[in-house]
Amino acid sequence: MNIDGGNTLACLAPIKKNSEVTKIYPLPHMYVVRDLVPDLNNFYDQYRSIQPWLQSDEVKPADVEHLQSKEDRKKLDGMYECILCACCSTSCPSYWWNPDKYLGPAVLMQAFRWIEDSRDTQTEARLRALDDSFKLYKCHTIMN
Strands (E), 2-140: 2-3, 6-7, 24-25, 32-34, 37-38
Give the pLDDT confidence of 128-138 residue by residue, as tens digits.
Answer: 999 988 888 88
Q: Diameter of the chain by CA atoms?
A: 60
Report how far residue 126's alpha carbon sits from residue 136's, in angstroms, rounded to the nearest whole number. Answer: 12
Query: Domain locations in the chain?
Result: 36-56+69-130
CB 8 within 8 A of CB 87: yes
Give the pLDDT confidence of 21-67 residue by residue, as tens digits.
Answer: 889 999 999 999 999 999 999 999 999 999 999 999 988 888 989 89
User: Would you state the pLDDT for residue 58?
Assistant: 87
pLDDT band at 144 (very low <50, low <70, confident <90, very high): low
CATH number of the domain located at residue range(s) 36-56+69-130 in this protein = 1.10.1060.10
The amino acid that residue 41 corresponds to is: N
Question: Counting beta carbons within 10 angstroms of the beta carbon of residue 48, is it exposed (0 to 12), middle (13 to 18) or buried (19 or more)?
Answer: exposed
Q: Is the pLDDT of residue 121 over 60?
A: yes
Q: Provide Rg for the chain, Cα atoms.
A: 18
Q: Is the pLDDT of residue 118 over 80?
A: yes
DSSP-derived letter for residue 15 is: P
Rounded to two decimals, what is the model's pTM?
A: 0.89
User: Would you state the pLDDT for residue 136?
Assistant: 85
Q: Is the pLDDT of residue 107 over 90?
A: yes
